[in-house]
Amino acid sequence: MNDPLAHVRDLFDLDDDVVYLDGNSLGAPPRVVAERVREVVREQWGRRLIRGWSEGWWEAPERIGNRIGRLLGAAPGQVLVADSTSVNLFKALMAAVRNTDRAEIVVDAGTFPSDGYVARSVAELTGLALRPAPPEDLDLRDTTAVVLLNHVDYRTGRLLDMAELTAQAHAVGAKVVWDLCHSAGVLPIELDALGVDLAVGCTYKFLNGGPGSPAFIYVPRHGQAAFEQPLTGWTGHEVPFAMDPEYRPDPGVSRARVGTPDIISMLALEAALEVWDHVDLRDVRAKGLALTAHFRSLVEGLPGIEVITPADEWRGHQVSLRHPDADRLVERLAERQVIGDHRPPDVLRFGFAPLYNTFDEATRAATTLKELL
């Protein structure tokens, strides 16, 4: 099959004997990362020592945020790399409901559990009600303060209509927070154009930042002055090194910072993002749809298998299957060098990263699954 991204695979450090289809949990490492980390440790830290903070370290959260922002349809100065997705989600939700006279937080009923845990904590801290609702029937009201939605469902791979659901929230005067963990690096996103209020996401999946790499938060420029987050750490101060006893937030997106950034992980992420200089997101999306369609065509009808990922374009870059022996099948696939993952109780997930996965790998994974069944 025609693959306009075939050349990009060479930018990754991959074992050709392994079919790696778990990029929706942890992306593969670009080759440049290992050498960059060595350089950071040996030279920037090892030789420059504390001088590194004035030689690019301090500005890294904003600089790398701008790089991610280009993949999200966000103009410079609106995306910050910091902390974890859960921490950023807590900041976003608390900021969204601060000083509200509304009564409820609505959360995607199928949300990633950690998002649900954070939303419940915010509800308990603020006295608001938490109402889970399916995205197709949110039943938003003039009492809704904020809606939390997952752009791509982590279990099924279903893709939500960001434009339509953002408009629904705004129609009743509510804000919307989008979790982009399974869509950043998957398809073109237009946060600015759609008027999204706030968004968060991780960088270790399809952005290939490495295990535990720092997450990102999007705060649009027009909403930054009103973004009052609850974690008022020193690096979010207007003049951090003044050590002022009174907290005054930075006027821009840097007010979303909290503590000292994790420089080694952050600079590893910056190196990993260089692979995006070689691709067009439209090609990534087209290949992702083609890869998942190809794999789906090979596994539909296999004994005991139910495909639960949408067949139309409203899907991310994963194919999820249901089988009563899913956990054991994932283990046996791994024994044959085909790496997917299992979500209890009975879901097999196969995440396709168009930057490095091939159609031959999709065929090999489907053939191996067929043999096991």
Instruction: Note the pLDDT of residue 278.
Output: 85
Phi, psi of 44 (to 5 degrees): -65, -45
Is 120 annotated as catalytic?
no
Task: Verify that 185 and 290 share a domain, yes or no.
Answer: no
Task: Verify that 142 and 240 share a domain, yes or no.
Answer: yes
Instruction: Note the pLDDT of residue 2.
Output: 78
260 labelled binding-site residue: yes
111 labelled binding-site residue: no
Task: Verify that 256 and 295 share a domain, yes or no.
Answer: no
On the 0-12 / 13-18 / 19+ scale of CB atoms within 10 A, 300 is middle
The CATH number for 247's domain is 3.40.640.10
Instruction: Note the pLDDT of residue 229.
Output: 94
Q: What is the pLDDT of residues 231-240, one digit of tens each?
A: 999 999 999 9
Is 179 annotated as catalytic?
yes
In a domain, 201, yes or no: yes
Structural domain that includes position 239: 59-260
In a domain, 64, yes or no: yes
Residues 100 and 175 sit within 8 Å (Cβ to Cβ): no
**Domains contained in the chain, number:** 2
Task: Verify that 74 and 180 share a domain, yes or no.
Answer: yes
Question: What is the number of alpha carbons within 13 Å of residue 127 lying toward its C-beta?
Answer: 5
Task: Verify that 115 and 161 share a domain, yes or no.
Answer: yes
Task: Verify that 227 and 363 share a domain, yes or no.
Answer: no
Tokens at residue 84, please?
Answer: 């974890």
Task: Verify that 283 and 252 share a domain, yes or no.
Answer: no
86 labelled binding-site residue: yes
Q: Which of 20, 112, 206, 352 is catalytic?
A: 112
In this structure, are strands 19-20 and 338-339 parallel, antiparallel, or unpaired? parallel
76 cis-preceded (ω within 30 degrees of 0): no
Task: Verify that 89 and 167 share a domain, yes or no.
Answer: yes
Is 205 annotated as catalytic?
yes
Give the integer Cα–Cα distance in Å for 7 and 251.
42
Task: Verify that 196 and 313 share a domain, yes or no.
Answer: no
In a domain, 168, yes or no: yes
154 labelled binding-site residue: no
- Binned average pLDDT, 10 residues per bin, the chain of 373 residues: 90 96 98 98 97 97 98 98 98 97 97 97 98 98 98 98 98 98 97 98 98 98 97 97 96 98 98 95 97 97 97 97 98 98 97 98 98 96
The angle subtended at Cα 61 by Cα 57 and Cα 62, nearest 5°, is 110
The angle subtended at Cα 273 by Cα 71 and Cα 55, nearest 5°, is 115
Is 356 annotated as catalytic?
no
Question: What is the number of alpha carbons within 13 Å of residue 117 lying toward its C-beta?
Answer: 6
Last residue of a domain, one of 260, 289, 313: 260
Q: Which of 102, 158, 287, 349 is catalytic?
A: 349
Last residue of a domain, one of 192, 225, 260: 260
Q: Which residue has the tokens 């870059």?
A: 317
Task: Verify that 76 and 108 share a domain, yes or no.
Answer: yes
In a domain, 296, yes or no: yes
In a domain, 148, yes or no: yes
Task: Verify that 120 and 76 share a domain, yes or no.
Answer: yes
Task: Verify that 95 and 243 share a domain, yes or no.
Answer: yes
Give the integer Cα–Cα distance in Å for 3 and 140.
43
